[in-house]
Amino acid sequence: QKEVEQNSGPLSVPEGAIASLNCTYSDRGSQSFFWYRQYSGKSPELIMFIYSNGDKEDGRFTAQLNKASQYVSLLIRDSQPSDSATYLCAVNTSGRGGSNYKLTFGKGTLLTVNP
Amino acid sequence: DAMVIQNPRYQVTQFGKPVTLSCSQTLNHNVMYWYQQKSSQAPKLLFHYYDKDFNNEADTPDNFQSRRPNTSFCFLDIRSPGLGDAAMYLCATSPRQGLARVQYFGPGTRLTVT
């Protein structure tokens, strides 16, 4: 069974610090990796995606991918209280046809940024 | 702005009373998804449409049905809601092209079963 694992947290960091969120996945055929932010009671919002090994930066966010280790992470620099949310890691499943369009989600990591 | 719209945002139904949730999109995406998400859990895929091709997850209860009359609209029908079906229902869309297979979510419908 294809799985995506995240530390459920809560992860608590002070304002201005770097928050590091981690995710591992079991399907070696996975090609695309996503980070979504979900505020309580709201729907997931895409932060960024990555599909090549290495780092991808977008503003205060950096996604890191290591396919050999089946590991993807999200770094949030200069964390703000407004970053407090659950962060969902999602992995594109491998497969033919329609199954190639499915994502497997982790349960999410709750991040709290303290003022 | 192009977007994914879900109606209603909040739905209260009685045990066993059929309910329909709707999703519409202006993104012209080929793929549409329905997820169920309960508190502190990952979104759980119920089914998805690749154009008009319907793909049901193996563990989706028969109580859940879906219709996609055209590219823009998709419906989730719950034929006989039980207390365990209370959840947030999320609609998402994805373009057919592109390596990333990004999914864009609507605001969700919060379903309460009394």
How confident is the model over B95-108, as pLDDT tens digits?
876 666 789 999 99
> For B98, left (φ over 0), alpha (ψ -120 to 50), or beta?
left
Query: Of residues A27 and A111, which shows the higher confidence score?
Result: A111
Cβ of B102 and A49 within 8 Å? yes
Cβ of A32 and B99 within 8 Å? yes
> What's the whole-number mean pLDDT along residues B60-67?
96
Instruction: List, in order, residues 6 or more apart from B18 with CB less than 8 Å away.
Output: B77, B78, B79, B80, B81
Return d(Cα B111, Cα B22) in angstroms, integer: 12
| pLDDT range class, residue A40, cuts 50, 70, 90 | very high
User: What is the pLDDT at residue B96?
Assistant: 74
Query: Of residues A30 and A13, which shows the higher confidence score?
Result: A13
User: What is the pLDDT at residue B79?
Assistant: 97
User: What is the pLDDT at residue A101?
Assistant: 76
* % residues pLDDT > 90 (chain A): 78
User: What is the pLDDT at residue B95?
Assistant: 87
- Greatest CA span in chain B, whole angstroms? 43
| pLDDT range class, residue A7, cuts 50, 70, 90 | confident
Cβ of B99 and A45 within 8 Å? no
SS (H, E, C) chain A: CCCEEECCCCEEEECCCCEEEEEEECCCCCCCEEEEEECCCCCCEEEEEECCCEEEEECCEEEEEECCCCEEEEEECCCCHHHCEEEEEEEECCCCHHHHHCEEECCCEEEEEEC
Name the DSSP class of B60: S
Chain B residue set in contact with A, beta carbons under 8 Å:
31, 40-43, 45, 48, 50, 53, 55, 88, 90, 94, 99-108, 110
User: What is the pLDDT at residue A98?
Assistant: 52
**Burial label, A81 (beta-carbon count in 10 A; 0-12, 13-18, 19+):** exposed
Partnered with residue A110 across adjacent β-strands are: A86
| pLDDT range class, residue A102, cuts 50, 70, 90 | confident
User: What is the pLDDT at residue A94?
Assistant: 62
User: What is the pLDDT at residue B44?
Assistant: 94
Chain B hits for A102, CB-CB cut-off 8 Å, are: 45, 48
pLDDT exceeds cutoff 70 at A57: yes
Q: What's the pLDDT tens digit per position in B20-42?
A: 999 999 999 999 999 999 998 99
Taking alpha carbons only, the member of A51, A72, A74 closest to residue A61 is A74
**Burial label, A106 (beta-carbon count in 10 A; 0-12, 13-18, 19+):** buried
pLDDT exceeds cutoff 80 at A54: yes
Q: What are the C-alpha distances in Å from B99 to residues A62, A86, A92?
A: 20, 26, 10
Return d(Cα A39, Cα A110) in angstroms, integer: 10
- Greatest CA span in chain A, whole angstroms? 47
